Amino acid sequence: MLVSCALLAAPIATLALEGEGVNVGKNSVFTQLVPAETVERSAGQQYALMLQQADTKRALGPADNAQVKRLRRIAQRLIPFAIPWNERAKQWQWEVNLIGSTQINAFCMPGGKIAFYNGILKTLQLTDDEVAMVMGHEIAHALREHARERMGKNAATGIGASVITQLFGLGQLGQTVTNYGAQLLTLEFSRSDESEADLVGMELAARAGFDPRAGITLWQKMAAASQVAPPQWLSTHPAGSTRIADIEANLPKVMPLYLRAKK
């Protein structure tokens, strides 16, 4: 389901006043080694295949499902605030879908392809604010182009320095990106990527009127769930007291945005 562009075009007053919100710097230079269009096209193909497979197994949430409606409603509030973080987001064909699986998992692929698994909603009993924190985090990965950065680093390493000057002509790089495209659902991000996504996601949620303090309760729930069996969503996500402390330390930067959005 494509999220309506008309709904995403709602006015955003005083979106980015000087000095407000978090500061995570510019996107990595490694993103420039891989064309954004190539990554987004590959992501779209992988996402469509995943939905097709889920539908075949009767595991794709229908449009009238209450949780699907809830996820899409939250996404429609978050997405307009994504544009200042990445100009390409204006062109993305955003999609939000629910997969019937017990996995505690969620993601947003390049190009705005969002998926939640039933497991993360039911097992953790997420509130709307907590869902917004998860979704904001995953959207942030797409906005910060972490998958594209990872592909760029892998391509540079695999091809070798002698061909770096030929990258923008694709050639060998094009094949490398194609090979990595099939791994978009399993790409692992670095700890710094995860920290960036936490901060940017928290700001997106706050600007959209979701309580950023929900990040604390979210990670408390994640920590409790991981004591039984580590959720897939935590496979590369640093958790625990350090993560909660980082959220608490940055709350003063985003709470004013939340309070203004709630007026």
| 241 domain-assigned | yes
SS3 107: strand
Q: Does residue 15 fall inside a structural domain? A: no
Count Cβ atoms within 10 A of the Cβ of residue 218 and give its class: 0-12 exposed, 13-18 middle, 19 or more buried.
buried
CA distance 158 to 111: 25
Of residues 214 and 10, which shows the higher confidence score?
A: 214
Cα 196–chain centre separation? 11
pLDDT for position 200: 92
CA distance 248 to 95: 31
Average pLDDT over residues 123-151: 90
Tokens of 257: 């945005």
Listing from the earlier edge strand, what are the strands of the sheet with 95-99? 95-99, 113-117, 106-109
Give the pLDDT confidence score for residue 127 in this predicted structure.
97
Nearest to 142 by CA among 73, 193, 176, 67: 193
Looking at the predicted structure, is the pLDDT value of residue 172 above 70? no
pLDDT at site 15: 46
Domain count across the chain: 1
Output the pLDDT for position 122.
95
Asked, for residue 169, whether it belongs to a domain, the answer is yes
Q: What is the DSSP letter of 27?
A: P
What pTM value is reported for the model? 0.82
Crossing angle of the two packed helices 191-207 and 241-261, in degrees rounded to 10: 20
* 243 within some domain: yes
Per-residue pLDDT, averaged over 169-197, amounts to: 60
Catalytic one among 40, 130, 138, 203?
A: 138
Domain that holds residue 206: 27-261
236 lies in some domain: yes
**Do the domain assignments include residue 52?**
yes
> Is 239 inside a domain boundary?
yes
| Reported confidence tier of residue 222, pLDDT bands at 50, 70, 90 | confident
Find, among 132, 130, 106, the residue nearest to 118 by Cα.
106
Give the pLDDT mean for 49-54. 94
| pLDDT given for residue 263 in this prediction | 77
130 is catalytic: no
Q: Does 40 fall in a domain?
A: yes
Spacing of C-alpha 61 from chain mean position: 20
